[in-house]
Amino acid sequence: MASLLAGAVAAAAFLLLFLVLGWNFFLCAVLAVALFAALTLLLRPEKKIGRIEVSSVVGGEELYQKLEEAREDLDSIGRLMEQVEDETIRAQSRQLHETAASILTYLEKHPDKIKLARRFIDYYQDTASSLLAKYVELEDSGLNTADAASLREKTGQALISLNQAFAGQFQRLMSNELMDMDAEIRLLEQTIKMEGPL
């Protein structure tokens, strides 16, 4: 969209300078190209992590890419979850999806924590997406052997473990906030005890 607008303005400027004002063709062309380049840069949307501009964060581009990878895996888990036929597996998948969505919302508000979430993004979430894709493929195959039944059961157990890992990763990311909140509650309780009944 920005490049279309920049192109339209540059073309209009070229036509105005060349046809209406009668300037030199090459000068008009150079000015139009320069105007196009400048407008493209100015109108380019700024990448953001939550409400924070990527360019204002140290290593922001790398953090932005990590968050994009996480979003892709989250979308994949969501799509695959809808394809799962087994209700238990679908419920476990839904829990994974909800926890992952909460983690990504938290990371968008706290981009400084994205580096701490690398293991979650690169391993746990990616593994969940891959495991669900293979499970959906197994279900779609219609294979009803003992090995297939065993894999279905193992997948259910693996999803339980992944849900625990997701929750653990989320708690680790929020550890500072949890400690601050706990300290605030203890301070409130002490203040109330010191002041006595009202």
Of the listed ranges 93-97, 121-125, 187-191, the least confidently predicted one is: 187-191
Find how far residue 126's CA is from the centre of its chain: 13
Q: What interhelical angle do 25-43 and 2-15 show, nearest 10? A: 160
- For residues 180-187, average pLDDT: 82
Percent of the chain beyond pLDDT 90?
40
- For residues 122-127, average pLDDT: 92
How far apart are alpha carbons 198 and 182 in whole angstroms? 24
Residues 39 and 9: beta-carbon distance below 8 Å? yes
Of the listed ranges 20-29, 78-87, 118-127, the least confidently predicted one is: 20-29
Does pTM surpass 0.85? no
How far apart are alpha carbons 110 and 108 in whole angstroms? 6
Token reading at 154: 């193992």
- For residues 112-134, average pLDDT: 91
Alpha-helix runs per DSSP H in 16-145? 25-43, 60-83, 87-109, 118-119, 126-141
How far apart are alpha carbons 93 and 191 in whole angstroms? 44
Q: What residues does each domain of the chain span?
A: 2-43, 59-186
pLDDT per residue over 18-73, tens digit each? Answer: 788 888 888 888 888 888 888 777 776 666 656 666 555 656 677 778 888 889 99
Distances, alpha carbon 86 to alpha carbons 98, 100, 135, in Å: 18, 21, 10
Taking 70 as the threshold, does the pLDDT of residue 197 lie above it?
no
Residues 71 and 104: beta-carbon distance below 8 Å? yes
DSSP class per residue in 175-197: HHHHHHHHHHHHHHHHHHHHH--
